[in-house]
Structure 1
Amino acid sequence: MLVQLTYASRVSRTLSSDDIKNILSSSQKNNKADGVTGALCLSNGIFLQILEGDRQKVNKAYHKILADARHKDPAILDYREVISRKFSEWSMGLITRSDDNRQLFLKYSSSSDFDPYSMSGETLRGFFSEVVDNVRWLRKSPD
């Protein structure tokens, strides 16, 4: 059975660019081995992540995150069975807020600060769906 789990957590300490690279690299390695796909968003000191795959493997990945000292205040925001994966091409993709995508973050947020803790499951799915669509569009765009 395929599931999607979306959670948020706050960064427990200031992360360097090397910390973020290490998080992404280890996530990609571990997720690829377990058949887990998804995306990690980092904005305003908040991790927002969607994981998808086999229920036991996704739950295992989430429990590893809970044990990671870089995360605090974890909360599952959405958990559901799915028919197919949304992120089949990403063992783990990273999305950070930038001037280029500021409007996307603002579009789904109820305030000027991106706060996934206050977002509904439906809103979070819309946000991640648009992220995937934008990435696909960018890949197809001529260089």
Structure 2
Amino acid sequence: MLVQLTYASRVSRTLGSTDIKDILRSSQENNKADGVTGALCLSDGIFLQILEGDRTVVNRVYHRILNDARHKDPAILDYREVTARSFSEWSMGLITRSDENRQLFLKYSSTANFDPYSMSGETLSAFFQDILNNVRWLRKTPD
């Protein structure tokens, strides 16, 4: 069974660009081996990630994330069965908020600060679909 799991967590400590590159690189390697695809967003100290793949494998990946000291306050925001992957081309893509894509983050937020914890599953789905529609903001490899 194919599923999508969307979760948010807060960054437990200050992360530098090397940390972000390491997270993306290890996610891509592990996810490729596990057959998991998805995207990771980082904004205002909050990780927002969508994982998709086999239910058992996606659950195992999420539990690995729960044990990662870089995350705190994890919460599953949406979990659904899907008939097809949305991010089939990415073992993990990364989008960080920048001046260029600020409007994308603001578009789906009810406040001036991006807060996925307060977003509905439908809103999160629309946000990730917008990322796919504007793929230029999604990095497939670390800089």
TM-score (norm 1): 0.94
Indicate the SS of the match to 1:72: strand
The whole-number CA distance in structure 2 between the counterparts of 1:134 and 1:92 is 16
Q: Aligned in 2, Cα 1:28/1:81: closer, same or farther, shift over 3 Å?
A: same
1:141 maps to none
Indicate the SS of the match to 2:134: helix
1:114 maps to 114
Q: Unaligned stretches of 5+ in structure 2?
A: 139-143
Indicate the SS of the match to 1:49: strand
Indicate the SS of the match to 1:20: helix
Which portions of structure 1, spanning 4 or more consecutive aligned residues, are displaced by more than 2 angstroms? none
Deviation at 1:129, TM superposition (A): 0.4
1:92 maps to 92
1:15 maps to 15
- Whichever residue aligns with residue 30 of structure 1, its letter is N
Deviation at 1:58, TM superposition (A): 0.3
- Whichever residue aligns with residue 71 of structure 1, its letter is H
The whole-number CA distance in structure 1 between the counterparts of 2:45 and 2:126 is 21
1:12-91 alignment runs, 5 A limit: 12-91=12-91
Percentage of identical aligned residues: 81
The whole-number CA distance in structure 2 between the counterparts of 1:61 and 1:41 is 17
TM-score (norm 2): 0.94
2:2 maps to 2
* Cα shift readout 1:12-56 (whole Å, capped 9, x = no counterpart): 000011000000000000000000000000000000000000001
Deviation at 1:66, TM superposition (A): 0.1
